[in-house]
Structure 1
Amino acid sequence: MNDHYYSNKPQSESRRRTFEATLRGFALRFTSDAGVFSRDGVDYGSRVLIKEMEIPSDARVLDIGCGYGPIGLTAARLAPQGHVTMIDINERAVELAAHNASSNGIRNVSFAVSDLFTAVEGQRFDVILANPPIRAGKAVVHRLLSEAYEFLRPGGSLWVVIQNKQGAPSARAKLEEIYGDEQVRELGKDKGYRVYRSIKNI
């Protein structure tokens, strides 16, 4: 079976599990399932991004590749006057993210099944968050980094976490090509993971 977490319709037999995690001081309860990314708990890369990401309280945020929701739902807690749009190509993941928002009482969120940015065409965001699907290949990851620029408002920021051994140096080079050297900063590193913030010129 060629089933992976960036499948549109995972064929894995459902095996839901529920666990709790404290992220940025918020106690959250997540239900995950087979066929989605990091089923057994919030992955380390997402935790590193969540620790470092800066979300204004009224920000309009996009979580691309949201999985079952740890990054986007934490962002929603950090932006009580804002709104977080959570998208993923994986239908099962989007269903779980919506379920987890509801079970945690988080309402300033919306959800869509989306191949990269297709579901948010014409929209602009203050912050875009991504833990890219490395296994989908470098071309897909670099396409995400490139296309994100058009979905940011002027002055908006793209936050990305990537592991060194999985292409962080080439991702940074790509970001500097798109945003300019002065607009890209490494704002966190932990156990080989790098968090890059890229700001769209005003």
Structure 2
Amino acid sequence: MLEIRPGPYCVTIEAELPGVPLHTVAPAFGTAGWERARDCVVDVLAALAEVEAPEVVRRMTVLDEADPFRPEGVSWIEALTALVRRRVARFGDQLAPVIDDFDAKVELLLNELAELKEPETRVVHGDVTAGNILVDDDLWPVALLDLGLLTMPGDPVFDAAAAAGLYDIWSPRVREVEAAFDQAFVEQLGYDAEQLIVYRRVHSLLIANAHDEDPYGRDSAVPLAANLFNR
């Protein structure tokens, strides 16, 4: 890494990371070779699941919030429940018109979340997408980018649930993609299928308005959350 000071600012220049984004080279879902792209994502998630959350992650904030997501002494389930309630309080007026029985579904989801077993704390990336994984010519992962949006100390199963939904989030076949990933998570990582679905609905609520400041709504995932909750 080279550090220079062209004026009052400090600028760092780093070597370019190897690899290309997975989404630029991955075969389309359902075509020959797609399973290799799926397994690439599974490999990344399996590696993350082995990483204990360092102290700096415990001090991190998520989304546009100012305070740490999980203060000292607060459990993962408690912190995640509180985050969902804060997001619903801020953006529920946008979600309620498009999600049937919205308040009841949120409470049911939080009850399901409360019944989950408290996990061993690991690093949750929170945004494992095909654009954030760099791969080599054989679709093996070589780098993972863009920690920060929902990076937190928590449950690796949440990371997997989110990654399945994010992999091809705008595709009309997104439910099929999620199901294919869930099968791999159950078979290869030993995750519980119902827990994946609970976490995916939680994640959809968290990111539905993640870019709400965009006046054009280009990044709004409100309709996607509605589709998941209304199916």
Superposed pair shares fold, TM > 0.5? no
Higher Cα Rg: structure 1 or 2?
2
TM-score for both structures, normalised by structure 2: 0.26
Which of 1 and 2 has higher RCO (CA within 8 Å, sep 6+)?
2
More strand by share: 1
More helix by share: 2
